Structure formats: C-alpha cells, structure tokens
Structure 1
Amino acid sequence: MPYRWTSPPDAQVQELHLWPHNSLPQRGMAAFVLATFTLILIPALPLLGSVVLWGLLPFVMGAVWAMYFALRRNRRARQIIEVLTLDADDTHLTRTEANGRVQEWDCNRYWTQVTKYDDEGPVPHYVTLKGKGREVEIGAFLSEEERIALYDELLRALRR
C-alpha cells in the first residue's frame, strides 16, 4: 500500500506517510523508452543507407522524446507526500505538493473527526479529517480499497 505508519501503534507519537502509487519505476521507464525506440526502428532497417531514413529519423526521435517527456512529467506530478502526525494532544497533517508547496492543518486530537463520503466526494470513498471548523482531504490519490482501509486505520488510531 502506498502509505505506512512509521511508528508502532502503541507509541506516544504516531506518524503516517502517504504517497501516490508509482507503477513505473525509474529503471522501468528507461527500459520502456529503449524498447519502444528499438521496436520503432525495426521497420526502418530496410531503409538503412537510403535518404528516406534521414527523413524519417527526426520524426522517430521526436516521438521517442515526446514519450520520454510525458513519462517524466507524469512522474514529477506524482511526487506528493502527506504526513499525518498524531501525538497525545494534537493531530497535524502536512501535504507537500510536487511543486514544493506545503499545506498544513492541525487540530486537537480529541475533536478530530474522520469522515468517509461513499458517493458524495470527488472520488468514491473520499476520506476527510475535520476539526477547528475546517475539513481537509487525506489520501485522495489512493485507490478505493486503500481509502477504505485508511479510513478504518485512522478511526482506530484516533480512538487511542
């Protein structure tokens, strides 16, 4: 799961780290781009030594570069991390966006409410934290099953 409690359940301060799932690691992306380039060039083998290859090569290189650029941009856009810290008195949520912008929310742990909107949110099983007159989302980038499990874990963690 793309979230992990970094401290044991019975610790005084509990910390939960959440991040989007990245299905294509850096090495996998490099292999994919290389394989795509190789597969594109296979039909061009009969053109070796002809002028047509030089006319076709810029378009092939442009297509490979565009694919590489799109994959890199997607990877950078998914560099989001959310950190939820639960101590004896406070609940603190920090979200760091891919562009470096940081959003923070905190509340007294006693008054923190975890809510799951099954159908009313922007995604199914939308999980929020509510307190101090503000409601913030947590883990909106997770899958449906992961949000359901996160909701249950947050309820258990806040009851302690």
Structure 2
Amino acid sequence: MKRALLIALAAVGLMAAEPPPAPDRPLPDAAQEARAKALFADIRCVVCQHEAIADSPAGIAADMRRLVREEIAAGRTDAQVREDLVRRYGDFVLFKPPVRAGTWLLWFGPLAALLAVAAALLAMARRRGEGTPALSPDEEARLADILASQEDRRDPDAKASDD
C-alpha cells in the first residue's frame, strides 16, 4: 500500500513539473541571429532575475528568445524590440533600465541606502561623545596615593595557580 502511494505521489510530481522548452531555432540570416544574440545578453529572465535570457534554462526565457527572433525577422529595430519587452514585462526586464522617475529607485536606491547607513553610523559615533573625561589634578593625586600605598595588590579571588 505504501509503495503504491509513493508511486502515485512521484507520478503527480512528474506531471506537475514544467515541460522542457522547445529547442531554439536560430534565424536563417547570420546578421539577424547576431543581433538577436546581442539582445539576449541585455534582457533579464523574468523568472531567474539574475541571468540573461541567453543563459537561462527557464521556459519563459525560451519564449522570450523566440519572441525576440520573431520581431527581428519581422524587421523591427533593436530599440523597438526592447520597447515591446518593456511594455510586456516592465523596465526590470532590461539589465540597464532607462533613468527616469519610475526607475530612480533601481538606479539610486543602493547609493541612497549606503549614504543612509553612513549617516547613521556617523550620528551614533558623535552621540557617544568624547569618551571618559580626564581626571582632575585632585583625582590624579588621590589615585597616585592609592597606587603607592598598595604596591602588591593581589586579587582576593585569585588562586596560587593564577600567579
């Protein structure tokens, strides 16, 4: 009974897996294929997010590669292909999104976060103050007397083996 249940669960798991993408079909024109491959390197996979669609094994990346090839074959320019992808997936699909109001966070967010952390650390360092205030001449004299009177000060908790 347990074995049949395990087989059924494995079968369901295999059916739920994403099917492998269809193999890429390069464009017949070498110049167009070179343009497509150059675009592949500039376009981010929306699933992997850290890989270009040229390197991604995800099914959506294969669909995006196919779409880019179709648009190039239809005679669209690289800028038009990028604009279409941005329209479909947003500015995030480009590794170098354009600088505009909607992408300021992408461009300047890391710098702003770094400056905020630096300002917080500087404020904390200033709040700590100057440290311990210097001893007054009277306090220094008292300390010197105490140290002179106790030449060999032993720790009351120390053992003979600690010497």
Given the two structures, how large is their TM-score scaled by the length of structure 1?
A: 0.25
In proportion to residue count, which structure has more strand?
Answer: 1
TM-score (ref. length: structure 2): 0.25
Higher helix share: 2
Is the radius of gyration larger for structure 1 or structure 2?
2
